[in-house]
Structure formats: structure tokens, C-alpha cells
């Protein structure tokens, strides 16, 4: 299994627009940077959920801001979330982070859901 994953590493790296794969020996600071990228993505995900499921649907109408305004905010937040996921995936592959293959399926599902949300928001606008 590890052999297959090692052969797939360059393919995933190309998809993530990484030009050079890391050396097999990963520095501790690179591993810490990968952890920071992952922590940022998780933190942003939490803030995004609070905004999208608490602030936008309940607080904005209370202060008189509703309608298409919140949809545009949703789209912007989802685009930033997609960027954060892409950034953390790139950082994992650039540093050769040992748990990158465990994070990949989670990231792909999250990307699919975010793209679906953007599609639903755009359909609401049309």
C-alpha cells in the first residue's frame, strides 16, 4: 500500500501545483508549518460554520440585512474555505507531512460540499 501511495505522491503534487517534491527527510519546522496550516483550516471552518448557520440566518435579519446580501457573503466565505483547504493540502505535500494521505479524503469531501453550497447559492441568485 505504501508503495502505491509513494507512486501517487508526484501526481497529487502536480494537481496541487507543486513543482518539487520534498526530500524524504522532513524538517521539524516543516512539519510544524503543516500542522499550522491544518489548524488554520480547522479554525476557519469553525468560524465559517458559526457565520453561515448562526449569524447570517438569524442575526442579519434582526438588524435589517437579509436577502441576496447574505448569499454573497456565503459565497465569499465558501471560496475562502476552499482556498484554506487547498493551501493546507499544498503545505502537507510540500513538507511531506506523514498524515497527508489521511487528510486527503476529508479535504476532498469538504471541497465537494463547499462547491455544492456555492452551486446552491448561485441557483438561489438566478
DSSP string, 96-120: T-TTHHHHHHHHHHHHHHHHHHHHH
pLDDT in tens, 31-85: 777 777 778 877 887 888 888 888 777 777 777 766 777 788 888 988 988 988 8
Q: Which of 88, 82, 91 is CA-nearest to residue 18?
A: 91
Task: List the domain boundaries for the chain.
Answer: 28-125
Q: What is the pTM of this model?
A: 0.75
pLDDT in tens, 93-108: 888 877 888 888 988 9
* Amino acid 123: pLDDT: 92
Amino acid at each position: 500500500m505504501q508503495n502505491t501511495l509513494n507512486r501517487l505522491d508526484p501526481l497529487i503534487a502536480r494537481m496541487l501545483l507543486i513543482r518539487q517534491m520534498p526530500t524524504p527527510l522532513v524538517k521539524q519546522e516543516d512539519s510544524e508549518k503543516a500542522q499550522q496550516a491544518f489548524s488554520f483550516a480547522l479554525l476557519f471552518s469553525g468560524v465559517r460554520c458559526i457565520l453561515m448557520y448562526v449569524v447570517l440566518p438569524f442575526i442579519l435579519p434582526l438588524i435589517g440585512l437579509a436577502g441576496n446580501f447574505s448569499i454573497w457573503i456565503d459565497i465569499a466565505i465558501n471560496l475562502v474555505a476552499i482556498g484554506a483547504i487547498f493551501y493546507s493540502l499544498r503545505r502537507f505535500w510540500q513538507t511531506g507531512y506523514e498524515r497527508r494521505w489521511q487528510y486527503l479524503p476529508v479535504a476532498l469531501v469538504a471541497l465537494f460540499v463547499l462547491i455544492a453550497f456555492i452551486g446552491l447559492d448561485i441557483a438561489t441568485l438566478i
